[in-house]
Amino acid sequence: MRRSQGGFTVVELLVTGTILLVLMMFVSTILFPSAREIRRAEADVATQQSVLLAIEKLFQEAGYSDGRSAVVADSPVPSVSFLSREPAGDTAVSLGEADYTPLGARSDPLEWKKFVLIYYWSDDERVCRKEFPYDGGTELAALKADRLASLIADDRYPERVVAFGVSAFGVRMTGPSLLKVNVSASQPGGADQEETRLSTKIAMRNSL
C-alpha cells in the first residue's frame, strides 16, 4: 500500500479518522446532556416552584392566625381553614351564621377580617383558596367542618388557584397551634418522572 505524501497510507488515514470520530462522540455524550435530561431538569424546577408556592401561601397567613380558628377536613376534599387579619378580597358576600361557630374567646387587640379556606382538587392536581369576609372583630370563630363542601361549591366566592401540578396534598393539626402540611408534586411526561415531596410544620403564632 502506497503512502500518501504526508507519510500515511489510505488505510491508516481511515483508521485514524474512525478513532477521532468515536472519541468525538464519546466526549459529546459527557459534555452535552441529552434533550431528555434537559427536559427532566426543567420539569424538576417547575415542580419545585409549584410546591413551594403552595407552601408559601399557607405560611403567609396561617403563620399569623390563631390555632383555635383552624379547621382541617379530609372530605369532600383535603382542606384547611383559619381566620386572617388581612382584609377580604373582592368578595362582598357575608357568611351566614350557620357557616361558622363563635368560639367564645377574644384575641384583643387583634382583629380578624376574613376566613381563608385552602383546599385540593386531586382530579385537576390543583391547590385552591377562597376568602370569606368576617366582621366579628376580635371574637374568635371557626368555619364549620360540615359546611366546607358547600362553601367550596358556592360560586359567590371566587376560587383562586394557588398551585398547579400537585399530585398530593395533606394537612393536619399536630398540636393546638401547629399545622403540618405534606405536599407531593410531579410534572407529567413519563412513568420515570421523579416526584418532589415536601413536609413542613407551620406555627400559628397569634394563638393565645
- Full DSSP string of 147-188: GHHHHHH-TTS--EEEEE-EEEEEEEEEETTEEEEEEEE--S
| pTM score | 0.75
Q: How far apart are CA 36 and CA 40, in angstroms?
A: 6
C-alpha cell at 85: 387579619
Sign of torsion over alpha carbons 76, 78, 84, 86: negative
Tens of pLDDT, residues 15-37: 676 777 767 666 555 555 555 55
Q: How far apart are CA 35 and CA 25, in angstroms?
A: 16
pLDDT above 90: residue 55: no
Q: How far apart are CA 184 and CA 166, in angstroms?
A: 6
pLDDT above 60: residue 112: yes
Q: How far apart are CA 140 and CA 77, in angstroms?
A: 25
Instruction: Tell me which amino acid residue 182 is.
Output: N
Q: Tell me which of 103 and 94 has the higher pLDDT.
A: 103
Burial label for 164, CB within 10 Å (0-12, 13-18, 19+), is middle
Q: Out of 69-83, 173-187, 193-207, give the one with best mean pLDDT.
A: 69-83
pLDDT at 191: 52
Tens of pLDDT, residues 118-127: 999 999 889 9
C-alpha cell at 80: 384547611
pLDDT at 144: 96
